[in-house]
Amino acid sequence: MNPPTNPPVVQCSTTQVAGSNTPETRQVELAKTSGTFRFDFDTQTVQDQIIVSYEGRTLLNTGCVGTSASQPLSSIGNTTRVSVQVIPNCAGGTNTAWSWTAHCP
């Protein structure tokens, strides 16, 4: 049995781009334990789902969408990182492409 792996850590305000058909999670270092940050995403035409969470609480669940949007999100707690999970091809299909950015607060 393989030991659990920690998701990669990326810096805030760095655009994350992928087209993988494999679900993926990344931790974003915001460098603050509280504040409001802007979250931009673009799931293009093949539908994907993006879930942003902080200390186990869901801040944003896009649902299964093929769109782009920008959303202000707020976090208050003890850690400086939010988790971003992408579930690609949530409506079936292949060859997805998506990007997202969690801007620094």
Is there a domain that residue 81 lies in?
yes
Task: Report yes or no on 12 lying in a domain.
Answer: no
**Domain housing 71:** 22-94
Split into its structural domains, the chain has a count of 1
pTM equals: 0.93
The reply to whether 36 falls in a domain is: yes
Helix count (H) and strand count (E) of the chain? 0, 9
Tell me whether residue 75 is in a domain: yes
The single residue listed with the structure tokens 């915001």 is 30
Q: Which amino acid is at 41?
A: F
| Cα separation, 75 vs 53, whole angstroms | 9
> What is the rounded CA–CA span in Å between residue 51 and residue 84?
6
Q: What is the pLDDT along the chain (105 residues), one digit of tens a residue?
A: 555 578 999 999 999 998 778 899 999 999 999 999 999 999 999 999 999 999 999 999 999 999 999 999 999 999 999 999 999 999 998 889 999 999 999
**Does residue 59 lie in a domain region?**
yes
67 in a domain, yes or no?
yes
In a domain, 9, yes or no: no
**Cα-based angle 32, 26, 74 (whole degrees, multiple of 5):** 35
The pair of structure tokens assigned to 3 is 């030991």
- Residue identified by tokens 């669940």 is 61
Does residue 3 fall inside a structural domain?
no
Rg of the chain (C-alpha set): 13
